[in-house]
Every structure is written in structure tokens, then in C-alpha cells.
Structure 1
Amino acid sequence: MTLVETGTRALVGAVFGPTAEGETGYASRLLHLLRTDMLVLWDKGFDSNAFLAQVTDTGAQVLGRLRSNRRTPVLTRLADGSYLSVIGTVKVRIIDAKIAVTCADGTSFTGSYRLVTSLTDARRHPATALVGLYHQRWEHESAYYALRHTIMNGRNLRSGDPAGIEQEMWSLLTLYQALRTVMVEAAESLPGTDPDRCCFTVALQTARDQVVQAAAVITDPADAGRLGLIGHRILTRLLPPRRQRVSTRKVKSPMSRYSTRHEDGRPDTSRTITGLDINVLEPPQSRPQLPAVSRDDRHTALAERRRHRILGLLEEDPNRLWRPRDIAS
């Protein structure tokens, strides 16, 4: 589990261990690295009430996915189509949006985002801007790609014991961070250069050649300047400005829980996006009535009706939060 900075893809922190502990448990170990000037992006697997409270307690802001089956009370409807709500004891803002994508070859498809954020001021942070910003979370995936595929190139860790595996993992993370540092320094040496244009493969291959050939290890070549040979080659082989692209998510592992691909219209190969339309959906005006149930479903229905009543009370009184003394009374 890593905390990655979007834009530079630098590692802020990392933890790892046995699979007996879940993703949220490992993510909780990284919360001490958060600061009040950070905006945390996360996928919908991290939308538990407790984890949301832990992150907001650090002072950092949140923008993450919500699962579609989460039922959140509509406390205040906002002008941009989003609405204020509450999850646990945290006041949040919910954004439901449909996204229509048109590719360069004329194909199109639609998708949806359901986002939760602690940025409750709709005038300072419009819903459409936040939906577009959330797309940057995929830079986290490209960081994993660099670690797993570009550096490892299909190889497995060699160690057969936990201590050796831990040593190899930290070595990989250290190498990755060192290369990212050089890439950012190279981009900053040319004002206005986006770090996205720096090629990780060029940085890795140059570093590998220096180790294998012992070239420019002690003294940098004269034409490399203060950035060294790696920075020099990065700048001479800058990628074109990043363009919006889309493709379906391919799962290579037959044991993956994501092995079943949903046919949502996304192309099998990467294609350039020429049109992107974001439509923020307004919440329903009233909560629908629960249907009548048989006696066999009574126990399930009672729990559902209790939740339905609680959501109704929250909608009637937006300033009320459930506290232990409320429940005890």
C-alpha cells in the first residue's frame, strides 16, 4: 500500500506485509504522513465510515469514490447539482455524475462517478472540476506499473524468506524514488515542463547502463551539466504533452477478483479522447416509500425501515448528528 503524489508520482510513504490484513488496515498506517494542505484521492474500496473519520481527523481533505449501494441523506441541495450529507459523524458533500466519452475513431461510451468529498464549498470547488480532478487518481496506477513492470520486467522477487523479501521491497522502492527525484529535478530545470513528459523507461535504462558500464559514475560528462547523465537524457527525450486516453481495464491474473470484465463500451486498446461531457445528477426530491413485505422478510425489513427513518430524520434536521447520548436517551 503506497501513498503517491499525483503529478510527480513520487512516493510519500509505503507499507507492506501479509495479505491477512486488508487494504484499509495498511492504508491506516500511512495516515501520519498526511498534512492539512493535502487532498487525498482514493478508490471506492476505502469508503468505510471509520476510515473517512480517521483521514479527516488528520486535517487533510478527501475526494474519493463511494460504492453505489451507499445511501446518504440529502441535507442541502447545492446549485451545481451536488448535495451536503453526513457519513457517520463527518459532514461531506456527495457528487453523482454521468460521464460521456467520445474517442478519436468515433466510438463513445458512458460511465458514472459517485464521489464523496470534504470540500463542501460548491462555489470554490465546482462539482465538474472535482470530477475531472478525480481522474488524476489513475497516476497512482502508473506508479505501480513502473514498479511492477518497468523495473521488474516480469521477474519475481528472488528471496524465499520474509526478511529477504522485505529487503528487496525496500530496495525497489528506494530505486523508484531516486529515479522519480531525478525526473522531477530535470523537469524543474526547464520552467513550464510538466513532469508527465519525463519518461521513466529512459531514466531506468540510463541508470542501468551507468551501473553496468561504470560510465559517468565518478565524474559526469561535460555535456550533462548539473543534472547528470540521467537528467540530460530525460530532457533530450521528453514525451509529447500528455493527452486524455481511455481503454478497458485488462486483468492478466486468472485469480484476480476483477477477472470478469463489464461490457461498458470501453475499447480494448488505448484510444485518444476527443470529447468529454460531465453531467452532474441532482438528488431525488423525495425518498421513495418502502414496499410492503411478507412476514418471512419481517426481520430484514425492520432493519431497513429503521435506517429509512434515520435518514428521514437527518434530512428534516440537517444540523443534527447522531451522538452516543442521543442513542442512549
Structure 2
Amino acid sequence: MTRAVTVADGVFAPGHLGELTQVLPFELVDAVLEETGATQRRLRDLPSRVGVYFLLGLGLFEQVGARLVWDKLVAGLAGLPVVSPSEKALRDLRRRIGAAPLRALFEVVAGPLAQPHTPGVRYRGWRTVAFDGCSSLRVPDEERNRGWLGKFRSRFGMAGYPTLMLMTLVETGTRGLLGAAFGPSKPGELAYALRLVHLLRPDMLLLTDRGFDGGEFLEAAAATGAQFLARSKSTRRPPILAVLPDGSYLTQVHRLRLRVIEAKVTMTGADGSAVSDHYRLLTTLLDHRTDPAGALISLYHERWEIESAYFALRHTLLRGRVLRSKDPAGIEQEMWALLVLYQAIRTVMVTAVESRPGTDPDRAGFTIALEAARDSATTATGVLPPIDKPTDLVGHIGGAVLAGLLPARRTRFSARIVKSGISRYHSWNADGRPPTSVNITAIDVVVHQPGPHQPATPGHKHTGFPAQKPGRITAVLTIMQSAPDRPWRVLDLANSLGIAGAKPVNSFRTQMSQWARAGLLTKTAPGTYAIASTTALTAAP
């Protein structure tokens, strides 16, 4: 049995990415190379177009080295005269191309992916989008990378690898990328988000976490004509200008007239567990009749779709690995290539889902699409549209996605814990959530009516929320205050607090040591503490 493949001619034959080449066609790659001045001066065995597809292949086959990636791209070209370059030749090819063509390619493919009728992508007339940062992308621990990114320092010492800050603007309904910026973590998320705020459009509704509630950022977002729904820090004290019938109220933040919704959300699981949290949302949607508080609180949950996008990029595509490049120029090139590849896969997924009207893009599996894309690249399948089916928008990758559609999204929750056997922080994550995933049987939303506005007083932070339960340090100091002159053993305090088990007790030991370093306690002997002063209880945070 013979199999026919259709690829570019001559030395350009290895320049493909399987069926993803239809999303990133030859003409587009040639155009960005010409625009950025990266086209080869003389046509030799490794032209620049082939180099761009090779760079994308490095992201598609992250688990193998550069030479093996080349072998995978030419595996389906049996019988064709293709070159067999050395590692050095491939490295020189990367350097010759640089990062500019990959960045230009991303700027072309980035953007909203869903049609207006696609389920789950719009709230009323607005396309929902979200900003967030990812600071867990690790790069090789090389001197040039450290000089650019620095290294994170914790109380236990320096981190193992420098990390890269990635900021993206994501279409929450499809998890497609509208824009991206990355670099050292030092400038912070807001600085990177401000670089991308110009990508917002009047038909968009921006969802952000509480790290993006700064006045400068909100004004910049509103100036684009987009609406926003932003979670605010509990320490913000917005003035109450008018209370609306649904419990929300109007306020002024800098020069913006906004609406504030304060609510408590309680989730009840099938096992009887219940978890609650308080939310304060700022929004430019001022009319409580068209946008009631309950609807906006439910909508805010869509912001978490950007976390799924980062999971696909960081864990599914990269498999948690450290990036390849050992210098900043290579890191920049590699990152733009990964973002282009991610967007190309999302494009195929959304196109496939939209071929079945009424199907939510949430049901498309990124892992399924990724594996199908790898298969098509190694077999050189679908490099060009089939002549007999020029309008086939699904293809091999889309067919695999449709054949493996995920079930409809379930509402569920589980504990947010550090999943590390040597972690000392188990007790810090004890928020009452069940240790395993549990289906949610009920969600109760209570909108808080604002009380009389209290003027600011020194040292007072008026949150507008119900008083929180005292923390563990308060409970410890209360127990020790009953016998202030007694040396207290950690085990005695743990028993009094109901802390049992080796790991929770070890975590409690660590907390006691930290409080001693902070001056709240005095360490009198190994594992033994005394209260620092009789006034420590009132001074505790």
C-alpha cells in the first residue's frame, strides 16, 4: 500500500507542521520573514521558512531534542531527498531567524476565535475576556538567563530555576489568545497588562482578579470602550454614592463612576461539605435592571477559564518542563513559537466545534488536539487542503476532537493544596474544601446591603464584609495567655487546638518557629515556647 503526501518542493519540503500548516500557511510564513528581514539571502539546504516550522516543531515535540524533532518532521517524507542537518546546523538556523518573525507570526494569528453565535463566549452583546499572569514558566539556570530574569529567593534559599512572567489577554469562551507579553517578574502583572490593554475593544467585557483593581489600569481599560467586571481587594473603601435595589451601590474610583457588588458565595457539595468566600466586584455595568447583581456574580466565574489556558500551555504542551534556551534571545524566540503553536491548536479546535452548532468549546479536549497534531506532523498529513475537499474545515485534528468531545462541564470543587510530599504548608491551605473533587449540589449567593459608610481612621481598614474568624495565632496566644509564665510545648498546644497527625503537627511546628522569629513568641528550648509579653494578644495581627 502506498501513501501520497503533498508538501513544498525541494529544500522546502521539511518546512511543514502537518495539518497545522493550513492555519500557518507557507504564504504567511514567507510574508513575516520578508517583513522582519529574516529571509535567507541565498537558497541553501535550510531556508528560513523551514526554520520557522522547525521552531514550531520544537514546541510541538517538547519532550525530545532538536535533532529528533527534525527527524519527526521528515519522518513522513520517505522517498524525498531531504537533508540531515547536525545539531550545530539547527542551532545556527535558530540564531539566523531570531525572534522577530515568530513574534510577527503571533501578532497575525492572535485574536478572538469564536463566532458571535458560539455558546459560552458572550455575555449579552459582549465577548468575555480576561487578563492574568503566569509566573511558573522555568528557564535553564544559566548566567545570561539569571542576569535577565533574576532568581526567586525564599526563606529556604534561592529557587532552582529562574522563572519567566507571562501575561496574556484570553478569550474566556475558547481560551484563545488575544495578546501576550513576557519578561522578568519584577515589573509586576499590572505593568505587563498595561502593555496589552490597547487590545480591548468596545464589544468586550473584561474579567480580572483583585490584583488588577488599580485606578490607573481600570481607567486605561475603560478608555478603550470595553466594559469590565473586576474583583477588588477587601481593603478598598469606595464611597457609597447611591444604593441600588439589588443591593449593589454606585461609587467613584478615580475619575470612573462604577458599581460595586459585595456578596457572599456559598457552595455545598454532594458530601455535605460547604465552602464560602466573600467577593467585592467593581463594574462599569451600572444598570441593575439589565445586569442584576446575581447575574454578574455568576458571570465572574468565567474568569477562571484563563487558568485552564495556562494549564494547557504549561502542563499539557510543555509537560512542566524547563524551556530549552540558555540565553534571553533564545527564550524570547522559544516563547513566541510556543504561543503561536498554542493559538494554532486552539484555532483548529474552535473551528471543529463550530461545525456542530450548539456545541460549547469547553467540550473540546486540548490533549486530544495536541496528540492529533503530533500525529499529522510526523506523517506529513494535511499539509495542504485536500483537492477533493477544499472546504473541509475539520480535517484529521478536528475529527479527533469531535470524536472525543468531553462531557458537559460539571460544577465541582476540591481542596486547593500544595501537592508536594515535602511541603510544610498543608495547614495554610486548610480552607474546608474536600480533599478530592466533589460535585456541587447548591450555590447560594447573598448580596450584602451596604451599611452606613464609615470615614477612614488611622490603622482601620473598613472592608464592608462580615468579621472574619480569628486566625490560629490568636487561638495560640489565647491559650498561652492563660498561663503566661509557663513554657508551652508544641505538642501540648497542638492537642489543645485539635491538631492531629504527623504532617499537620510538623506544619504547626513551622508556624510556631515563624511566630518566634516575628517576635510574637519566645523560644525557650527545642519545641518549647513562651509568650513574648502579656500584651502580645492585643498586638497580634
TM-score (norm: length of structure 2): 0.51
Matched with 1:265 is 432
**Structure 2: which 5+ runs fail to align?**
1-166, 463-541
The match for 2:395 is 228
User: C-alpha displacement at 1:6, in angstroms?
Assistant: 0.9
Matches within 5 A, 1:1-329: 1-217=167-383, 225-251=392-418, 261-287=428-454, 300=458
Distance 1:169 1:186, change over 3 A: same
Deviation of 1:267 after TM superposition, in Å, equals: 2.2
Shift of 1:268: 2.6
- What is the SS of the residue equivalent to 2:345? helix
Distance in 1 between the 2:428 and 2:192 partners?
27
Which whole-Å CA distance do the structure 2 matches of 1:73 and 1:266 have between them? 34
Summarize deviations over 1:28-55 as a string: whole Å, max 9, x none.
Answer: 0001111111111111011111111111
Asked whether the equivalents of residues 266 and 277 of structure 2 are also in contact (C-alpha less than 8 Å), the reply is yes
Shift of 1:219: 6.6
The answer to whether the 8 A contact 1:95-1:280 is kept is yes
Q: Which amino acid aligns with 2:239?
A: P
Change (3 A) 1:72 1:204: same
- How far residue 260 of structure 1 moved from its aligned partner, in angstroms, is 7.4
Secondary structure class of the residue paired with 1:16: strand
TM-aligned CA distance change 1:91 to 1:151, over 3 Å: same
Q: Give the Cα–Cα distance (whole angstroms) in 2 for the partners of residues 91 and 207 of structure 1.
A: 48
The verdict on how the C-alpha distance between 1:202 and 1:67 changes in structure 2, with shifts beyond 3 A counting, is same
SS at match of 1:15: strand
Pair member with larger Rg: 2
Runs of 5+ unmatched residues, structure 1: 291-299, 308-329
- Following the alignment from structure 2 to structure 1, what is the Cα–Cα distance between the partners of residues 319 and 456? 56
CA gap of 1:27–1:201, structure 2 versus 1, over 3 A, is: same
Are the counterparts in 2 of residues 9 and 139 from structure 1 also a CA contact under 8 Å?
yes
Taking only aligned residues, the RMSD between alpha carbons, in angstroms, comes to: 2.6
* Structure 1 contact 111–264 (Cα < 8 Å) conserved: no
Asked if 1 retains the 8 angstrom alpha-carbon contact of 2:259 and 2:282, the reply is yes
Residue-by-residue CA offset, 1:128-163 (whole Å, 9 max, x unaligned): 100000000000000000000000012111101111
Q: Which residue of 1 aligns with 2:511?
A: none
Question: Which stretch shifts more, 274-283 or 239-248?
Answer: 239-248
- What is the identity, as a one-letter code, of the residue corresponding to 1:189? S
Q: Hey, what's the Cα distance between the residues in 2 that align with 1:204 and 1:112? A: 38
Preserved CA contact (<8 Å) 2:251 2:259: yes
1:103 Cα deviation after fit: 1.0
- Give 3-state SS (helix, strand or coil) of 2:201's partner: coil
CA contact (8 A) 1:98 1:113 kept: yes
Could you tell me how far 1:225 is from its partner in structure 2?
Answer: 4.6
Kindly provide the CA deviation profile for residues 203-241 of structure 1, in whole angstroms up to 9, marking residues without a partner as x: 000001122233444576999954110001111111111
Residues 259 and 72 of structure 1: CA distance in aligned 2, closer, same or farther (over 3 Å):
farther
Q: Judge conservation of contact 2:416–2:429 (CA < 8 Å) in 1.
A: no
Bigger drift between 1-10 and 106-115 goes to 106-115
Residue aligned with 1:68, SS:
coil
Cα distance in structure 2, aligned partners of 1:96 and 1:107: 23
User: Shift in Å at residue 168 of structure 1?
Assistant: 0.7
Q: Does the Cα contact within 8 Å between 2:351 and 2:393 map onto a contact in 1? A: no
Secondary structure, in 3 states, of the residue corresponding to 1:85?
A: strand
Identity of aligned residues (%): 55
> Cα–Cα, structure 1 residues 252 and 263, in superposed 2: closer, same or farther, change >3 Å?
closer
User: 2:207, 2:181 → 1: CA distance?
Assistant: 18
What amino acid is aligned across from residue 352 of structure 2 in structure 1?
A
Distance in structure 2 (CA, Å) of the matches to 1:114 and 1:215: 51
Q: Report the count of equivalent residues.
A: 293
Letter in 2 for 1:265: G
TM-score normalized by structure 1?
0.83
